[in-house]
């Protein structure tokens, strides 16, 4: 098309000025396209974010507004008391503390044991290495939902806990304890896999040199190689923390008392409590959602590195 | 996703060590390496054997029993599998998973690709746009479901009804009408699923050779032509990867259904995981629930196997 125009417009003249017009129109076309794209992006990303904006707006809305038809889209006055009221109706502070403990434990345990196993698989030659690696990859494929019932039964029949006999009968085992919340999901095979990938990219020559210098194998792992993958440590810690904070089904199944309830289960139970008080429900939901959003904004780069590798939540 | 990658390091050139006592020393180094390999790998390996390996065996064993948690399990042969075979609700739940996947995944993949291609260029506000699209993925599904529960509120003040009211439709009972509920669920899965897919596409776009676009420019290709003849083919491995992981994730949908619909109305949004949950923890038919879990596992193994077959070696890591 463009070539045609040029040959028609300037059949006799040398191509220089015509070329200039062409680039100018191309540039204008491009500017138009990128403006259109920007408008599209603004609109569509606002649509993507609308549910969160709606949550935030609803959380500071006066309850009488919620019943009015038509409801003003922007709250007429900001009612921050919704948050204090939500906090008195349900112990969100306790829920948040529990989630924080659970998420932190998950992060620490995954970093400690996941990195140990990942390092061994990436850098050390031992007889069972191929079998262990194969097992971990297979484990990644196995969804928690397929094993949740047996894991629940194992926790409930944990011998010598919660009034259980040595055979695991008679009591409630680990049900409604921190053990149940933390231990079964403490080490994720995916994190082992991720660590292995991080360690594979570190230079093996360093290990050989350290060995010649007489550094112990454990010292090489902790003091020589692991410092090289600090961003990887942070990625695993953040992903584990996120998974712990957002976990729902498992805490729902194994805790009954309120002082062990985590925040996601807390919102779900608050829903029964607050019924149709949507201003309070949205305040509670905001309290549950905001910490992860903030953490993500601060550590975006590290999250992205992990998510891009995983394709799973 | 990459069982093809073999574990273990590349062989270090131990040959370079040429001291007289080298062989002895090398052997002791090898012993230490072997020992520490086992020691470091042991905690994670034993933990996963205990909390993933044992449960799978337990699930398979219990799937052949009748068990109600209170009384000891009794051997029941293939009875549970026979029950599943004729259990309409279970297969309906499988079908719902398939519908959610079949409708939701292609749409969210397409939108994710559009976002990724646009946000791969240097444009003002690039970072903010990425975050806005990605936020639904980072937020807990329980919180997400609560938000949408309020958006789908059947009154005139539910956001969705406010929006539809502008064009004169509604108010509609999105989650309590059996004809609307599944579609409403699918819309949430699309919205929540775009972010991660976009991220993977963005990562893949970084790897596309810029010279291909320059060559296409020289050939006079326009934006749309470049998209379909350069971008799409170059992103094929990423597309397969996203498709498979999304399929597997789809069969693990639970929190959303638990909060939004509890499988209702009239079981119109029941999914496999929710059905298993009900069978085990509401009906206390634990043997049957384990048989359902085994079926779920088989479905996922088939999906994983198919993905390996389709993707083959092209995906690499």
pLDDT digits (tens, 9 = 90+) for A177-194: 999 999 999 999 999 999
pLDDT, tens digit (0-9, with 9 covering 90-100), for A191-240: 999 999 899 989 999 999 999 998 999 999 999 999 999 989 999 999 99
What is the DSSP pairing of strand B74-75 with strand B65-66?
antiparallel
At A115 the pLDDT is 96
At A19 the pLDDT is 56
User: Which pTM was predicted?
Assistant: 0.86
At B233 the pLDDT is 86
Residue A117 has pLDDT above 60, yes or no: yes
At B279 the pLDDT is 94
Residue B129 to residue A62: CA distance in whole angstroms? 31
Asked if B18 is an interface residue toward chain A (Cβ–Cβ < 8 A), one would say no
Residue A69 lies in a domain: no
Q: Which residues of A touch B253 (CB under 8 A)?
A: none
Buried b (16+ CB within 10 A) or exposed e, B165-186: beeeebbbbbbeeeebbbebbb
Residue B251 in 3-state DSSP? Answer: coil
Residue A265 lies in a domain: yes
Residue A313 has pLDDT above 60, yes or no: no
* Intra-chain end-to-end CA distance of chain A, in Å: 48
Residue A62 lies in a domain: no
Residue A105 to residue A186: CA distance in whole angstroms? 8
Residue A270 lies in a domain: yes
What percent of chain B lies above the pLDDT cut of 70? Answer: 89
pLDDT, tens digit (0-9, with 9 covering 90-100), for B59-95: 999 999 999 888 888 898 899 999 999 999 999 999 9
Please count the helices (runs of H) and the strands (runs of E) in chain B: 16, 2
Residues of chain B where predicted confidence (pLDDT) is lower than 70: 1-25, 310-317
Residue A117 lies in a domain: yes
At A113 the pLDDT is 96
Residue A51 to residue B158: CA distance in whole angstroms? 11
Residue A114 has pLDDT above 50, yes or no: yes
Choose from A146, A269, A293 for mutation: most chain B CBs within 10 A: A146
Cross-chain Cβ contact A48/B125 below 8 Å: no
Task: Provide the mean pLDDT of chain A.
Answer: 87
Residue A305 lies in a domain: yes
Asked if A43 is an interface residue toward chain B (Cβ–Cβ < 8 A), one would say no
The secondary structure of A141-167 as a DSSP string is HS-HHHHHHHHHHHHHT-TTSTT--TT
Residue A163 to residue B97: CA distance in whole angstroms? 41
Number of domains present in the structure of chain A: 1
In chain A, the residue whose alpha carbon lies closest to the alpha carbon of B280 is A149
Other beta carbons less than 10 A from residue A170's beta carbon: 11
In chain A, the residue whose alpha carbon lies closest to the alpha carbon of B204 is A308
At A22 the pLDDT is 66
Residue A155 lies in a domain: yes
From the CA of B258, how many Å to the nearest CA of chain A?
A: 9
Asked if A16 is an interface residue toward chain B (Cβ–Cβ < 8 A), one would say no
A129: domain CATH number is 1.10.3720.10
At A64 the pLDDT is 85
Q: Which residues of A touch B62 (CB under 8 A)?
A: 149-150
Q: Are B248 and A312 in contact (CB under 8 A)?
A: yes
Structure ipTM over 0.90, yes or no:
no
Residue A173 lies in a domain: yes
The secondary structure of B39-86 as a DSSP string is HHHHHHHHHHIIIIIHHHHHHHHHTTEE--SSSPPEE-TTHHHHHHHH
Sorted by where each starts, the structural domains of chain B and their CATH numbers stand as 12-62 (no CATH), 85-311 (1.10.3720.10)
Residue A55 to residue B58: CA distance in whole angstroms? 43
H-state helical runs in A60-76: 63-67
Range of the structural domain that residue A304 is part of: 83-310
pLDDT, tens digit (0-9, with 9 covering 90-100), for A251-297: 999 999 999 999 999 999 999 888 888 999 999 999 999 999 999 99
């Amino acid at each position: 098309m463009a070539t045609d125009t040029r040959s028609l417009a300037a059949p006799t003249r040398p191509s220089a000025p015509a070329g200039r017009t062409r680039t100018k129109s191309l540039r204008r076309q491009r500017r138009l396209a990128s403006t259109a794209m920007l408008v599209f992006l603004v609109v569509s990303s606002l649509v993507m974010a609308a549910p969160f904006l709606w949550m935030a707006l609803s959380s500071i809305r006066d309850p009488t507004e919620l019943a009015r038809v038509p409801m003003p889209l922007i709250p007429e006055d900001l009612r921050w008391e919704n948050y204090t009221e939500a906090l008195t109706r349900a112990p969100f502070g306790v829920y948040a503390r529990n989630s924080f403990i659970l998420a932190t434990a998950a992060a620490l345990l995954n970093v400690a044991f996941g990195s140990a196993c990942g390092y061994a698989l990436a850098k050390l030659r031992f007889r069972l290495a191929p079998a262990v690696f194969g097992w971990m990859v297979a484990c990644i494929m196995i969804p928690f939902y397929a094993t949740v019932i047996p894991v629940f039964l194992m926790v409930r029949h944990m011998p010598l806990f919660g009034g259980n006999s040595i055979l695991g009968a008679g009591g409630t085992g680990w049900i409604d304890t921190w053990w149940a919340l933390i231990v079964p999901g403490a080490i994720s095979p995916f994190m082992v896999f991720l660590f292995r990938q991080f360690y594979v990219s570190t230079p093996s020559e360093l290990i050989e040199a350290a060995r010649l210098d007489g550094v112990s194998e454990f010292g090489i792992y902790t003091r020589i190689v692991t410092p090289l993958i600090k961003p990887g440590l942070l990625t695993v810690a953040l992903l584990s923390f996120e998974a712990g904070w957002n976990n729902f089904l498992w805490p729902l199944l194994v805790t009954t008392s309120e002082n062990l309830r985590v925040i996601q289960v807390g919102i779900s139970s608050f829903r029964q409590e607050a019924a149709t008080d949507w201003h309070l429900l949205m305040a509670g939901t905001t309290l549950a959602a905001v910490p992860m959003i903030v953490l993500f904004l601060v550590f975006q780069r590290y999250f992205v590195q992990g998510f891009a590798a995983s394709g799973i939540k | 996703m990459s069982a093809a990658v073999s574990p273990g390091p590349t062989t270090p050139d131990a040959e370079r060590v040429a001291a007289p006592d080298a062989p002895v020393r090398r052997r002791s180094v090898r012993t230490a390496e072997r020992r520490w390999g086992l020691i470091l790998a042991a905690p994670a390996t034993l933990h996963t054997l205990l909390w993933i390996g044992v449960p799978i065996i337990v699930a398979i064993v219990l799937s052949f029993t009748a068990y109600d948690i209170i009384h000891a399990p009794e051997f029941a042969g293939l009875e549970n599998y026979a029950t599943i075979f004729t259990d309409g609700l279970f297969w309906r739940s499988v079908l719902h998973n398939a519908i959610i996947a079949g409708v939701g995944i292609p749409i969210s993949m397409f939108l994710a690709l559009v976002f990724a291609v646009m946000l791969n260029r240097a444009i003002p506000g690039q970072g903010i746009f990425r975050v806005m699209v990605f936020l639904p993925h980072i937020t807990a599904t329980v919180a997400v479901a609560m938000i949408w529960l309020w958006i789908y509120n059947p009154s005139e003040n539910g956001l969705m009804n406010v929006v539809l009211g502008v064009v004169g439709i509604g108010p509609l009972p999105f989650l309590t009408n059996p004809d609307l509920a599944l579609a409403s669920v699918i819309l949430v899965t699309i919205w929540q699923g775009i972010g991660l897919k976009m991220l993977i596409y963005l990562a893949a776009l970084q790897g596309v050779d810029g010279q291909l676009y320059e060559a296409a420019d020289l050939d006079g290709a326009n934006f749309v032509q470049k998209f379909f003849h350069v971008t799409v083919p170059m992103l094929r491995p990423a597309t397969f990867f996203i498709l498979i992981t999304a399929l597997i994730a789809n069969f693990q949908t639970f929190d959303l259904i638990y909060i939004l619909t509890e499988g209702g109305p009239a079981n119109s949004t029941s999914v496999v995981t929710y059905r298993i949950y009900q069978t085990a923890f509401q009906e206390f038919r634990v043997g049957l629930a384990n048989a359902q879990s085994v079926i779920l596992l088989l479905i996922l193994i088939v999906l994983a196997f198919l993905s390996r077959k389709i993707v083959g070696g092209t995906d690499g890591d």
